[in-house]
Structure 1
Amino acid sequence: MRFVLVHGGFHAAWCWQRTIPELNQLGHDAVAVDIPGHGARLDEESTLANRRDAIVAVLQPGDVLVGHSGGGFDITLAADAATDLLAHIIYLAAALPREGRTYPEAMAMRDSEDGSFDADVGEMLTYLDFAEDGSMRFATFEGAWKYFYHDCDEKTARWAFERLCPERFGDTTTAPVSVPRFWAADLPRSYIRCLQDRSKPRWLSDVVATRLGVEPLTIDASHSPFLSRPAELAELLVTATGTAPIGPLIPK
């Protein structure tokens, strides 16, 4: 199999450096993508359309598409554009769009009867600096270590922190997202929950898994198992491709 790995916010393709060799050891190919505004594409504008296109450009027939954290939004957009190329899609502690809603709305909505929003954005925001252009970055190493890498040794956590980039959201905060082909395609799919995750609330993981119609797989790791548990993550990604949904997709 060939895995296409998509990073989340602040990160870039470099975050998969430990996981790719582990997938290779298991006999699989893997490629990591830099989303516009990140990594080698840091200076590019970041929009829903060009983030989607960056992923679609590397897809080949039969690929397994993996998205981490905010990258779940991006892989869903790519899957909507190229459903025929994908054998499986895996959400790793990842987000999932809500049909017709913006990214912030999708991240805040609980599956309650009244469709209410969760106003508690969490302590993590106190560790971020916000620039005049609307971008944000982790202000200190301690904040990034606490929320992204607490189960990594300090050397690894500092290596990652030094490579984090500002997160520039572009139109992702204001543009409603519609991915009708994704919902209709009903692709084979999986969700992986990180049991020690301090960055993504447990309730949100549960909501995404329910909306995907899957029984979540788990890994006993922080929000960044690609660095702290790469061999275990690689095995779990392969295992995930053999799972099947237990319920329907829920678009809204």
Structure 2
Amino acid sequence: MRFVLVHGGFHAAWCWDLTIPELNRLGHDAVAVDIPGHGTRLREESTLANRRDAIADVLRPGDVLVGHSGGGFDITLAADAVSDLVAHVVYLAAALPREGRTYPEAMTMRNSEDGSFDGDVGEMFGHLHFAEDGAMSFATFEGAWSYFYHDCDEQTARWAFQRLCPERFGDTTTTPVSVPRFWEADLPRSYIRCLQDRSKPRWLSDVVATRLGVEPLTIDTSHSPFLSRPAELAELLVHATTTAPIAPLTAQ
């Protein structure tokens, strides 16, 4: 199999550097994508369309598409565009769009029927610095270590911290997202919950897994298993491709 790995906010393709060799060791190919505004594409504008295209452009028939954290939004957009190329979609502690809603709404809605929202989506904002242009970055190493990498050794955590980039959400915060082909395609899919996650609240993971119609898989790590337990994560990603949904997708 070939895995296409998509990072979340503040990160870039480098965050998969320890996981890719483990997938190779298991006999699988893997490629990590830099989303516009991150990594090698740091200077590019970040929009829903070019984030989608950055992923869709590297997909080949039969690929397994993996999205971490906010990258769940991006892989859904890509799967909507080229669903015929995707064999399985894996959401790793990841977000899932709500049809016709913005990213912030999808991240805070508990129940689409009563429209209930929850402002508690982690403690991240207490660790951030906001620039005049709206870009967000982690103010201290200790904040990033606690929030993203608390189960990593200090050397690994500092290596990651030095590579974090400012996050500029662009139109992702204001533009309602519509992915009708994704809901219609009903692709094989999985959700992985990180049991020690300090970034994504348990309730939000439960909501996403329920909307995907899957029994969540688990890994006993922080929000960043690709750094703290890459071998275990690689094995779990391969296992995820053997699972099947137990209920329909829920667009809202």
Match of 1:64 in 2: 64
**Structure 1 pair 121–201 and aligned structure 2 pair: CA distance change class (3 A):** closer
* Equivalences for residues 32-47 of structure 1 within 5 A: 32-47=32-47
**Structure 1 pair 122–17 and aligned structure 2 pair: CA distance change class (3 A):** closer
Match of 2:48 in 1: 48
Report deviation, 1:115: 1.8
Report deviation, 1:113: 4.6
What amino acid is the match of 1:80? D
What amino acid is the match of 1:34? D
What amino acid is the match of 1:220? D
Distance 1:232 1:244 in 2: 20
Report deviation, 1:177: 0.1
**Structure 1 pair 31–122 and aligned structure 2 pair: CA distance change class (3 A):** closer
What amino acid is the match of 2:204? L
Deviations 1:32-59 (A, max 9, x none): 0000000000000000000000000100
Match of 1:156 in 2: 156
Report deviation, 1:120: 2.8
**TM-score for both structures, normalised by structure 2:** 0.99
**Structure 1 pair 217–122 and aligned structure 2 pair: CA distance change class (3 A):** closer
- Unaligned stretches of 5+ residues in structure 1: none
Point out the more displaced range, 231-240 or 104-113. 104-113
Match of 1:212 in 2: 212
Distance 1:120 1:240 in 2: 29
Percent same amino acid at aligned positions?
87
What amino acid is the match of 2:251? P
Match of 2:169 in 1: 169
What amino acid is the match of 2:32? A
Match of 1:137 in 2: 137
Distance 2:225 2:43 in 1: 27
**TM-score for both structures, normalised by structure 1:** 0.99
Is 2:6–2:66's contact at 8 Å kept on the other side of the alignment? yes
Report deviation, 1:132: 1.4
What amino acid is the match of 2:229? R
What amino acid is the match of 1:54? A
Report deviation, 1:135: 1.1
What amino acid is the match of 2:190? S
SS at match of 2:144: helix
Match of 1:118 in 2: 118
SS at match of 2:67: strand
Match of 2:88 in 1: 88
Is 2:107–2:121's contact at 8 Å kept on the other side of the alignment? no
Does 2:151 match 1:146?
A: no
- Unaligned stretches of 5+ residues in structure 2: none
Report deviation, 1:124: 2.0
What amino acid is the match of 1:228? S
Report deviation, 1:104: 0.2
Point out the more displaced range, 108-117 or 222-231. 108-117
Distance 2:61 2:110 in 1: 35
What amino acid is the match of 1:210? T
Distance 1:63 1:151 in 2: 30
Count residues with an aligned counterpart: 252
Match of 2:6 in 1: 6
Report deviation, 1:123: 2.7
Distance 2:103 2:125 in 1: 17
Match of 1:103 in 2: 103
What amino acid is the match of 1:193? R
SS at match of 2:117: coil
SS at match of 1:110: strand
What amino acid is the match of 1:61? P
What amino acid is the match of 1:40? T
